[in-house]
Amino acid sequence: MSSNASANSHVHIPKVGTLIAVFVTLIVLTFVTAEVATFDLGELNVIVALGIACTKATLVAWIFMGVRYTSQLTKLFCVAGLVFLSILLLITFSDYSTRHWTYHARPWATNPSLGTSK
């Protein structure tokens, strides 16, 4: 019975070259993220950082976690999780973008003689 069960189940193991290539790509993308953070791109900093992070997460899930070789149901649940995450981010960013923040100076921050303790 165990020989029949092992013949029907096939676990795909990625090649070592593929794993090393993905690992090197993740390291390069990490350095790219750190390098991009030093540039002032304005509002694009967040977009570029999230794009690189999504690319790295996709590589990890697709290759290291083996989503590439799983059933259609597993892929559907991965996509469903990403859809719900996108909905949550959309709601959060829409709430943040509708708020009008005004800065009020604190008097104790501008006068160095106030707030000192002995």
Do both 60 and 88 map to the same domain? Answer: no
**Could you tell me the residue range of the domain that residue 35 belongs to?**
12-65
Residue 6 lies in a domain: no
Do both 57 and 17 map to the same domain? Answer: yes
Do both 60 and 19 map to the same domain? Answer: yes
CB 78 within 8 A of CB 61: yes
Which tokens go with 31? Answer: 């350095």
Could you give the number of structural domains in the chain?
2
Do both 58 and 17 map to the same domain? Answer: yes
Residue 114 lies in a domain: no
Do both 60 and 80 map to the same domain? Answer: no
pLDDT digits (tens, 9 = 90+) for 46-60: 899 989 999 999 999
pTM for the whole thing?
0.64
Query: At how many degrees (to 10) do helices 44-59 and 16-36 cross?
Result: 170
Distances 48 to 36, 59, 66, 85 between C-alpha atoms, Å: 8, 17, 26, 18
pLDDT digits (tens, 9 = 90+) for 10-24: 777 888 999 999 999
